[in-house]
């Protein structure tokens, strides 16, 4: 009988240890979830910029076409971008073939549609620097698209209300902007 008891206890111990191993397998802890990956923004709009512009100004009876230079500064606040810029343009009058120079100072406020696309409104002051007394209140907007961290392309429309009561103007500008 003693042999039977020993065999039974040995069998019970064997079954118990096998059951404990399978129970441990059933209640094992899962692997921890992978840490989230945060992507850095592709573009940063903060800082100084400068660029070249092509401009068309449409008035009655003549139109002006030419180009110029722009320089400014942006501050990115989450998805909002605020900025200020100034530009100078050399323009040829299509009616008289005379050249004139215009300067502008603009404030800009916009929102990022994506990391690389900025839609903005702009307003400011423009003046004819060629000796006439023309000055304009300017209001409009545009879109700027970054192709790399340092280069963007801009399209902009500004309505110019001549402050001395002369002809109003419609200005369309396109240009390439380098960000520093």
For residue 101, is it within any domain? yes
For residue 91, is it within any domain? yes
> pTM here?
0.74
In 3D, which of 142, 132, 141 has the Cα closest to residue 167?
132
For residue 37, is it within any domain? no
pLDDT digits (tens), the chain, 180 positions: 565 556 555 655 655 555 555 555 556 666 777 776 655 555 789 999 999 999 999 988 789 999 999 999 999 998 999 999 999 999 998 888 889 999 999 999 999 999 999 999 999 999 989 877 789 999 999 999 999 999 999 999 999 998 887 788 999 999 999 999
For residue 15, is it within any domain? no
Decide: helix, strand or coil at residue 102.
strand
Q: What b-and-e string marks burial along 134-169, b requiring 16 or more CB atoms within 10 Å of the CB?
A: bbbebebbbebebeeeeebebebebebebeeeeeeb
For residue 7, is it within any domain? no
Q: What does the pLDDT read at residue 5?
A: 57
For residue 34, is it within any domain? no
- Tokens standing for residue 177: 């902007």
Q: Which residues form the domain of 101? A: 47-179
For residue 104, is it within any domain? yes
Residue position matching structure tokens 């592709």: 42
For residue 82, is it within any domain? yes
CATH code, domain with 81: 2.40.160.20
The total domain count for the chain is 1
């Amino acid at each position: 009988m003693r042999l039977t008891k020993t065999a039974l206890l040995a069998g019970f111990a064997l079954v118990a240890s096998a059951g404990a191993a399978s129970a441990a397998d059933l209640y094992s802890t899962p692997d921890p979830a992978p840490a989230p990956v945060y992507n850095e923004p592709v573009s940063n709009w903060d800082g100084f910029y400068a660029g070249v512009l092509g401009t068309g100004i449409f008035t009655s009876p003549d139109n002006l076409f030419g180009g110029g230079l722009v320089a400014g500064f942006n501050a990115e606040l989450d998805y909002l971008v605020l900025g200020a810029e100034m530009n100078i343009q050399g323009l040829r009058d299509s009616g008289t073939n005379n050249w004139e120079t215009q300067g502008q100072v603009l404030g800009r406020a916009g929102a990022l549609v994506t990391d690389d696309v900025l839609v903005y409104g702009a307003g400011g002051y423009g003046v004819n620097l060629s000796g006439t007394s023309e000055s304009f209140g300017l209001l409009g907007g545009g879109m700027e698209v970054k192709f790399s961290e340092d280069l963007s392309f801009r399209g902009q429309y500004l309505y110019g209300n001549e402050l001395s009561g002369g002809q109003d103007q419609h200005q369309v500008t396109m240009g390439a902007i380098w960000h520093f």
